[in-house]
A and B are shown apart, each in its own frame.
Chain A
């Protein structure tokens, strides 16, 4: 009698599992796609979904009607831009009350974020999520962006946008990994300790210029070699003491080694 190869059984199991997986993914994603299509059909439905998500994930601090609570501000009138910024950077929902909400893993999908934003926007008018056109910085003025950045941003976010300390454990975050939309929303809504730069203070063109400057900082070559974190002289001092003096002392020990 011919025996089957001894790996046959495990292979069969794996193949079956893979087949089930593929089928499930196909059916599942189709279902999700359908759901999101349904969700996006009307704004009213989006708001309803957002309200549902808000009640589940946000209301324990912000109150059932987003009116705020002892530890959380009211969200009535903050607008969809604030919601999108806070959720898309992972700052909300908050893990624990601290000096400042840290950036962390984003837990809502884009669609869910949009739903919560729509719900908050439905409560009272406020700054809206910028459109793709508004954040299109391709034609913005880089030089003007630099001037505006150094006048308005660098005092907290540092000259390359690497971030800096504020008082009592708060901080201005690193801008180099933020998306243009998040930067735009932050200027518009002034999250945490950041001042609001409304469209009257910094026009959309100004904001685009600033975004262009930040993106350019991130993209341009590091002309002098390794930038040591772009944090200024503190890191340079640490570098010269650890690497520079370290190498020189190593050389001195080598040269001064006793010739027996």
Chain B
């Protein structure tokens, strides 16, 4: 009996009991669109799996305890020093457990890749408008995942109880303390007394290995089920509409691609962990509250908050004998809260401003949503300013700059540069829109220059391919919200006038300066022009500015039907 037959029997056995054949057939053949930017989410997923696996390995040896012990291990410069069990076991993992240091580095580099992948995935989703209806909820889940990634990463950074961990926790404690009224209670509650206490590491451990990974896993499951159910968005192109998905079936194409990509991500992570040090805890030494090192920084994903903290002037107010530390409260709690909340509600906010209630399965090109794109670049500029501010000491000492000058540049730049980047981005988008419109109406510039019999020089324009046309024509020209009437036809005053007027104004601002795509009539005329030239046997091809100020658009020689004489002769 052949192998296939045996397999068939087993499949039948399963199908008889679970009736999975139909479900499997339908879902395994599910079509996904293809693009390299669609793999950023996969990168995040795979690095999360890698972090999960390496984390399990670390739990076998890590001891989440702040009990003081004396180190006597392989790393002699710390021999005989008192330290917490957490730090000692991390040293043991690094120096005495086989493969331990590699696993630690896989775990840490993988975590950095996880959050970095989520970040670029989110940027792709934002700039292509993939978060629009019906995917707003999935965007929200994504924002929560990113936030959970921050928390999880910070918890992991704090667990080894080395000098850097403790310094980070001290800042976290400072942020807790800055919360008005309840700050000290929150801090005492979290640390079980005065900082650092002897309970925090074991508390954090449960959160780090159980609670947050559980939440992240749950959110990832929901995230992916929704993607599966709603189908993936696709970039515009020939044959791609809002009602179809053009791509390859999950089985076998994506099964192979995704499986292969997992191993590539795994390979790259292990390779990086094999060649580059991350968090050399032995060099930092154990955490002692009165010690500190220059270059104390959080991991990169917390760097922007560190930057906010460093850039903030030292303002504080004393009210009835209580100090409100604006210098910690604003950057530590307010900035984070405001930004995460803005990110959570952005899809609904944009829909409210555009008045767009349609479903979108075809992605926007960033240029076709200039205000959104500009807002995105503006946010990234803001983020980058804070990130640079977080590394001001390293940048200062490595590039011979004054740390004070950098801090002031950040303080001023954070207000000035984002608006400038907004304007520049929006203008670039609008220029690209204009150039798209030109391409549709006049064809693509080929760069070949021709000399006409009368002596003029013209540039040959080639018609666009069907795919290029489809891409450009995918632009959504949405009309802004209508201006509300103060008094309706029956003379009744609109009580919502002021509010509606404000939204309408925002909407008009959002769509301001939009370059509408050519109307059907304009396109037909351009087509006709091209056909006309071709019919006349006109070789040509060009933008004849000198001769025809209206801009005659003709054909590329290669595109003229075969029976016409090629013009180059």
Contact = CB atoms under 8 A, between A and B. Distances in A.
**Same complex:** yes
Interface string B103-118: 0010001001100110
Interface string B79-115: 1110000000000001100000100010001001100
B40 interface: yes
B297 A143 contact: no
B276 interface: yes
Interface in B385-424: 390-398, 400-405
Contact of A142 (B77, B284, B401): B77
17 contacts: A151-B288, A154-B163, A158-B295, A159-B294, A169-B400, A169-B401, A169-B405, A224-B280, A232-B164, A232-B296, A233-B300, A243-B272, A244-B112, A244-B116, A251-B264, A255-B36, A255-B257
Interface in A161-209: 162-169, 171-172
A217 interface: yes
B39 A256 contact: yes
A24 interface: no
B265 interface: yes
A172 B77 CA distance: 23
Interface in A206-251: 213, 216-217, 220, 222-228, 230-241, 243-245, 247-249, 251
A228 B295 CA distance: 13
A162 B295 contact: yes
Contacts of B404: 167-169
Contacts of A159: 163, 283-285, 293-295
A160 B80 contact: no
A232 B297 contact: yes
Contacts of B191: none
A169 B109 CA distance: 32
A155 interface: yes
Given A157-B294, A232-B295, A233-B298, A252 B36 contact: yes
Nearest to B162: A159
Nearest to A257: B36
Contact of B81 (A147, A156, A235): A147
Contacts of A79: none
Given A163-B294, A169-B401, A234-B394, A241 B300 contact: yes
B38 interface: yes
A91 interface: no
A22 B77 CA distance: 50
Given A142-B77, A143-B78, A252 B297 contact: no
A234 B295 contact: yes
A223 B36 contact: no
B337 interface: no
Q: Count chain B CB atoms within 10 A of each CB in A143, A220, A224, A244 and give the residue with the most.
A: A224
Interface string B295-309: 111111001000000
Contact of B300 (A151, A213, A237): A237
Contacts of A156: 294
B279 interface: yes
A101 B470 CA distance: 64
Nearest to B406: A165
Interface string A138-150: 0000110011001
Nearest to B285: A150
Q: Count chain B CB atoms within 10 A of each CB in A158, A235, A237, A251 and give the residue with the most.
A: A237
A99 interface: yes
A146 B285 contact: yes
Interface of A: 99, 142-143, 146-147, 150-151, 154-160, 162-169, 171-172, 213, 216-217, 220, 222-228, 230-241, 243-245, 247-249, 251-253, 255-258
Interface residues of B, number: 74
Interface in B23-67: 34-40, 43
B345 interface: no
B391 A234 contact: yes
A217 B295 contact: no
B297 A233 contact: yes
Contact of B94 (A171, A216, A223, A247): A223
B295 A226 contact: no
B221 interface: no
A165 B403 contact: yes
A231 B43 contact: no
B295 A252 contact: no
Contact of A237 (B38, B285, B303, B400): B303
Contacts of B391: 234, 237
Contacts of B94: 223
A217 B282 CA distance: 11
B268 interface: yes
Given A224-B105, A233-B298, A142 B76 contact: yes
Contact of A146 (B77, B116, B294, B397): B77
A227 B280 contact: yes
Contacts of B299: 233, 236-237
A172 B291 CA distance: 17
A239 B276 contact: yes
Nearest to A248: B43
A218 to B, nearest CB: 12
Q: Count chain B CB atoms within 10 A of each CB in A164, A166, A258 and give the residue with the most.
A: A164
Q: Count chain B CB atoms within 10 A of each CB in A146, A166, A240, A245 and give the residue with the most.
A: A240
B260 interface: yes
Contact of B292 (A154, A237, A244): A154
Q: Count chain A CB atoms within 10 A of each CB in B94, B164, B291, B397 and give the residue with the most.
A: B397
3 nearest A-B residue pairs (beta carbon): A164-B294, A237-B300, A256-B36
Contacts of A99: 402
A158 B39 contact: no
A251 B393 contact: no
Contact of A240 (B112, B264, B283): B112
B300 A240 contact: yes
Contacts of A228: 276-277
A54 B186 CA distance: 63
A140 to B, nearest CB: 12
A245 B116 contact: yes
B277 A227 contact: yes
Contacts of B300: 233-234, 236-238, 240-241
Given A146-B78, A231-B394, 18 more contacts: A143-B76, A143-B79, A147-B81, A164-B393, A167-B404, A169-B400, A169-B405, A223-B101, A224-B101, A230-B280, A231-B295, A243-B276, A244-B272, A245-B116, A245-B117, A248-B43, A252-B36, A256-B36
Contact of A252 (B39, B294, B396, B403): B39
A258 B34 contact: yes
A245 B120 contact: yes
Contacts of A213: 77
A233 B404 CA distance: 21
Nearest to B94: A223
Contacts of A232: 164, 293, 295-297, 394
Interface string B222-259: 00000000000000000000000000000000000100
Contact of B268 (A172, A216, A239, A248): A248
A187 to B, nearest CB: 17
Contacts of B291: 150-151, 154-155
Contact of A244 (B80, B81, B113, B298): B113
Contacts of A237: 112, 299-300, 303, 391
Contacts of B390: 234
A177 B402 CA distance: 23
B277 A222 contact: yes
Contacts of A225: 105, 273-277
